[in-house]
Structure 1
Amino acid sequence: MRSKLPLAAVLLTVAACQSAPAEATGGASGVVTWAASADRMSDGVAGRSYRLVVHTSVGGTGVRVRLSNAFGDRPITFDSAYAGLQKQGAELRPGSNRRLAFGGARTVTVPAGATVWSDPLPGKLPTASHLVVSLHSPDAAGPASGHWMAMQTSYATQGDHTAEDSGTPWTIPTGSWFYLDAVSVQASRGTGAVVALGDSITDGWQSTSDLNRRWPDYLARRLQKTDTAVKGVANEGISGNKVLADGAGQSSLNRLERDVLSQPGVRTVFLFQGVNDIKAHTGVTADDLIEGYREIIDRAHAAGKCVVGATVGPFKGWHEWDAAGEAVRQEVNTFIRTGGEFDAVTDFDRILRSPYDQERMLPVLDGGDHIHPNDKGMQAMADAVDLTALACDTSG
């Protein structure tokens, strides 16, 4: 359900700042409320505008957005950027669309390989908002940075229509997010976030598009209803992604800093990944994958974050399944459950597997391809997470 907050109270201002939003006055802290891992996309189009629809988690004041040119091979200029609230499709709620600024300027140039945060917008963004970020670049060229499998319809058009509430000019629907990779708010002191680091299951494949039924979305809804300090959820899943090797996006080891540790207010890393390493038939052993997990744990701990590990789910029936890969999965899951190196464990394998064939997913939770859960499976995963484990103490 969309918020009924008065429209004039929602969003605006700006400063080119490459650091994450930090502690603010009045006892507030910067917390990531939405994120999507960037990857190399097709070439950017000069003069194109994007109207990007995202669903936030924690509410707060001082909204900031992070623009990414992480995979660009040249600088990109954004000469117009706005943030508002969705009415329907590409149409915005009247009065909600406010101009973003960067270092006090309306224009920002993001160097190749870099990201940049906007200045905070005055006003409040409600919990679970349908936020719309509109961007225009006069000179986009070369590889764009973005997230190709959004499971959410956004929109594009030629020319600068970013300031308009109307959805009429936005005639090009897209299932990807371009140049936008994070949104933060200022929340009450002590509020934290969890980052879900994963692959296509976390990315939401086989969940229903445009309805926010990925398992991190269900988790975010649980957190908003619970008395816990962790309220923000960032989804850093990439379809096809691996822990150890680049391919579909940089490996988790190589993107950990940008996608996870650099996000504001992160308290806990939720690591649910490994099936793509296992099923790729590249000779990855359980020991290889466990060493990758250990590196992520060590780096997250060094940054003061807790790490929750999730067991790798069943995938028998998927075309790349074989007995050898299954043996690796079982060995890896034994380590996750009993190794004692994660701060907490969520047993997704136990939740998803069939009691009649524990190498297969329970049919009622199966999205149809025997590796990706459907909406019910996504909700079952989120319901299995111990919310108290997400607020673990990082002081030690």
Structure 2
Amino acid sequence: MTLFLTVLSGPALASVSQETGRRHHLITWGASADRLGEGVADRAYRLVVRTSAGGDNLRIRLSNAFGDRPVTFDSVYAGLRKSGAELVRGSNKRLTFDGARSVTVPAGQTVYSDPLPGRLAAESDLVISVHSPDAAGPATGHGMAMATSYITEGDHTADESATSWTTRTSSWYYLDAVTVRTSASTGAVVAMGDSITDGWQSSTDLNRRWPDYLSRRLRASSATDVEGVANEGISGNKVLADGAGQSALNRLDRDVLSHPGVRTVLLFEGINDIKAHTGVTSQDLIDGYREIIKRSHDAGLCVVGATVGPYKGWYEWDAAGEAVRQEVNAFIRTSGEFDGVADFDRALRSPYDPERMLPFLDNGDHLHPNDKGMQAMADAVDLADLSCSTT
């Protein structure tokens, strides 16, 4: 397979403005941004991500959303992984920004690279290598990647060997989206959620989060033209309150509505609001869901609601929280306000005690599914719902 056939000339915006109605840019990978420690000058990151949809003209989005000062990236490359931090020989190509090799991202902002001509296959292990000469202050990234990436001091972004990339990390730094150009009839779904969507307790480096299983189902199916999947889960995230990342309400624009080619939001959040014992009622959560639905509909997107899974046996479970969960799930299933329903509760619960997860699907903490549970969730999604239309 050949990746990135030629070197780019010309800025991203010019390329996008010349697109015809037959093709468009589509998100093929995403990860929610959050504050991630302190930036370090003259450090490079080799970030390994798994794409969903295939296409050409790859672009990446660099994020300084949580920075308090500008950060410069003076060398950025994209390639294919061979194994570990080693790349497929000849695949590593420099990315540019408005035709320049260097870009400065203002505090609180994001920047897209120019498109890189050449085709990127679906389900690729894509490697983005970035170096910053001046990073300092709050760094932006995604803390719980459930995948191994690599760090080195100095600029080794052009290297295809793994020699200099000796430090491992389980986080993604500064990168929050990858897009490709594909048929305009092809869409994407954004999975918006918390630690379960983020993949906690799934197998590291094996891409067994439920959005990964969903991506593989979509690739094998002719029932829908949705192929892109972006995982916008943050461990501990809530619908209503900031804390573990900005709340779903406060990050909706950046993590969902700003991405190209998105057709549907698959919303699976609420358990952290419920079990936190802060007095959140079912009506509070329903009001939050309604705001997400309205804002997504206003942007032309559909919203599939996923029921909140069982958690009896988790240390924060109590009867009052369970009552809220049941009321919220009744709304998701029966209100008709969502464009579709993914009944994750039904997929995960025990037939003998529906307040508990089926032990076969439980990783052992009674809240987070294991790999089999992740697959059961993905299998519970009606793929036809992801092709819905608000018109």
Tell me the TM-score range normalised by the shorter chain.
over 0.9
Cα 1:277/1:123, change in 2 over 3 Å:
same
Fraction of identical pairs, as percent: 71
Conserved in 1, the CA contact under 8 Å of 2:15 and 2:115?
no
SS of residue matched to 1:13: coil
Cα 1:281/1:12, change in 2 over 3 Å:
farther
TM-score with structure 1 setting the length: 0.96
Mapped to 2, the partners of 1:333 and 1:15 lie a distance apart of 50
The residue number in structure 2 matching 1:87 is: 82
Q: CA deviation at 1:25?
A: 3.8
Q: CA deviation at 1:10?
A: 5.2
Among candidates 48, 73, 76, match of residue 78 of structure 1: 73
Q: CA deviation at 1:368?
A: 1.2
Instruction: Determine whether 1:131 maps to 2:126.
Output: yes
1:1-396 equivalences in 2 (<5 Å): 5-7=1-3, 9=4, 12-13=7-8, 24-25=19-20, 27-227=22-222, 228-394=224-390, 396=391
Q: CA deviation at 1:114?
A: 0.1
Conserved in 2, the CA contact under 8 Å of 1:15 and 1:105?
no
* Per-residue deviation, residues 32-66 of structure 1 (Å, max 9, x unmatched): 00000000010000000000000000000000000
Cα 1:254/1:150, change in 2 over 3 Å:
same
SS of residue matched to 2:331: helix
Between 1:145-154 and 1:224-233, the stretch displaced more is 224-233
Cα 1:392/1:254, change in 2 over 3 Å:
same
SS of residue matched to 1:288: helix
Q: CA deviation at 1:26?
A: 7.6
Mapped to 2, the partners of 1:20 and 1:346 lie a distance apart of 37
Cα 1:27/1:361, change in 2 over 3 Å:
same
Q: CA deviation at 1:367?
A: 1.1
Mapped to 2, the partners of 1:80 and 1:104 lie a distance apart of 13
SS of residue matched to 1:292: helix
Mapped to 1, the partners of 2:18 and 2:268 lie a distance apart of 29
Q: CA deviation at 1:14?
A: 6.8
Q: Once superposed, what is the RMSD of the aligned Cα atoms?
A: 1.6
Q: CA deviation at 1:189?
A: 1.9
Mapped to 1, the partners of 2:292 and 2:21 lie a distance apart of 34
Mapped to 1, the partners of 2:225 and 2:354 lie a distance apart of 35
Q: CA deviation at 1:171?
A: 1.0
Cα 1:247/1:16, change in 2 over 3 Å:
farther
TM-score with structure 2 setting the length: 0.97
Mapped to 2, the partners of 1:355 and 1:377 lie a distance apart of 15
Give 5+ residue unaligned stretches, structure 1: none
Conserved in 2, the CA contact under 8 Å of 1:316 and 1:370?
yes
Mapped to 2, the partners of 1:305 and 1:132 lie a distance apart of 30
Mapped to 1, the partners of 2:42 and 2:367 lie a distance apart of 40
Conserved in 1, the CA contact under 8 Å of 2:2 and 2:91?
no
SS of residue matched to 1:235: strand
